[in-house]
Amino acid sequence: MLSYILRRAGQTAVVLFGVSLIVFSLIHLTPGDPVDALYAGENVTAAQKDQYRKSLGLDRPLPAQYAEFAGGAVQGDLGTSVRRDVPVWSELAATLPATVELTLAALLVAVLIAVPVAVVSAQRQGSFWDRGGSAAALFGISMPSFWLGIMLILLFAVTWNVLPSSGRLDLGTGLRQMTGLVTLDALLQGNMAALRSALAHLVMPAVALGAAIAATLVRVLRSGLLEVKGQDFVEALHARGLSSHRVIRHMLRNALPATVTVMGVRIGTLLGGAIVVETVFSWPGVGRLIIEAIRARDYPVVQGSVLVLAVMFTLVNLVTDLIHAWLDPRVKRGRAAA
């Protein structure tokens, strides 16, 4: 297991190097200048712009700029925002908890929807419930998250006015920032008013982001349960008189490895999809920060934000592989033989 972890760590380093190189190249090769965007409409001379550009190091060759960026990233320094003149880490620290909270909420929504639907569909294969679940899963996969978000806003915020359409928290709740996760902070402080407000703001973005993930999990978990359903140990469990709930629990344990792998991959989709959903719901997360930084040509913020998301995605995939090996001992045996 240790050798596998070390090998995966090496692969992760290579992936992160490739991601950093691609992001740096694409950002710097696209048309536009961050200094021109920063001083657009202001009475600033070309000499002053050149001086500021030189102070930022943007006048140097691209290889030298990348070497400085990569070296700083390894040491935990992602640079300074061109637009706000503050460290990139400070902007990420203010926005990353919001994205993490939204991602976890979307994943929870996906699991709460997918597991019951997949179990019912597998247990009643070919029935009305099975066909309905498959049709809903197909619809969920085909439906863009931004369109679902807009429809939710029109229905629950505009028509019925029961849920807020933007932000994370109402004003005047008296919540103190502790972890950056407003729901967790509200629970730790016993602030029920803030907790209700945070959940109300979180529902629609989480559903819009988690619907497609739920649809994918339904299809994968249903297929796994159907494969397990016909195996001999399931008939043996029924013959021993175990209740259906306990039998389903054993079936889920055997069907989970493939589902966990898909979930690990889809968490990366959640992080990427959060960019669109955060824009639709004005959610103050990393996705919205990246959009604003792209518009302002703020290279350090875009590079640092994408690199942090890439690190999170690769770490999640590593944890997913370890969980898969724990759920399915055959993976460990095969790895040891290799």
**Three-class HEC string of the chain:** CHHHHHHHHHHHHHHHHHHHHHHHHHHHHCCCCHHHHHCCCCCCCHHHHHHHHHHHCCCCCHHHHHHHHHHHHHCCCCCECCCCCCEHHHHHHHHHHHHHHHHHHHHHHHHHHHHHHHHHHHHCCCCHHHHHHHHHHHHHHHCCHHHHHHHHHHHHHHHCCCCCCCCCCCCCCCCCCCCCCHHHHHHHHCCHHHHHHHHHHHHHHHHHHHHHHHHHHHHHHHHHHHHHHCCHHHHHHHHCCCCHHHHHHHHHHHHHHHHHHHHHHHHHHHHHHHHHHHHHCCCCCHHHHHHHHHHCCCHHHHHHHHHHHHHHHHHHHHHHHHHHHHHCHHHHHHHHHC
Rounded CA separation 167/165 (Å): 7
Write the burial class of residue 92 (CB in 10 Å: 0-12 exposed, 13-18 middle, 19+ buried). Answer: buried
Backbone angles phi, psi at 87, to 5 degrees: -60, 145
Q: Which CATH superfamily is domain 92-337 in?
A: MetI-like (1.10.3720.10)
Ranges of each domain in the chain = 2-74, 92-337
Rounded CA separation 312/266 (Å): 13
* pLDDT value, residue 331: 55
* pLDDT value, residue 1: 62
pTM: 0.83
- For the record, the structure tokens of 280 come out as 């639709």
Write the burial class of residue 82 (CB in 10 Å: 0-12 exposed, 13-18 middle, 19+ buried). Answer: buried
327 contacts 260 by C-beta, under 8 angstroms: yes
Rounded CA separation 17/11 (Å): 10
Instruction: Render each residue's pLDDT in the chain as its tens digit; 338 residues.
Output: 667 677 777 877 888 888 888 888 877 777 777 777 777 767 778 888 888 888 878 788 888 888 888 888 888 888 888 888 899 999 999 999 999 999 999 999 999 999 899 999 988 888 888 888 888 888 888 888 889 999 999 999 999 999 999 889 998 888 998 998 999 999 999 999 999 999 999 999 999 998 888 888 888 899 888 888 878 888 888 788 888 888 888 888 888 777 877 777 777 767 766 788 888 999 999 988 888 888 877 888 988 888 888 888 878 877 777 777 777 666 555 454 44
Residue type present at position 15: V
* pLDDT value, residue 337: 47
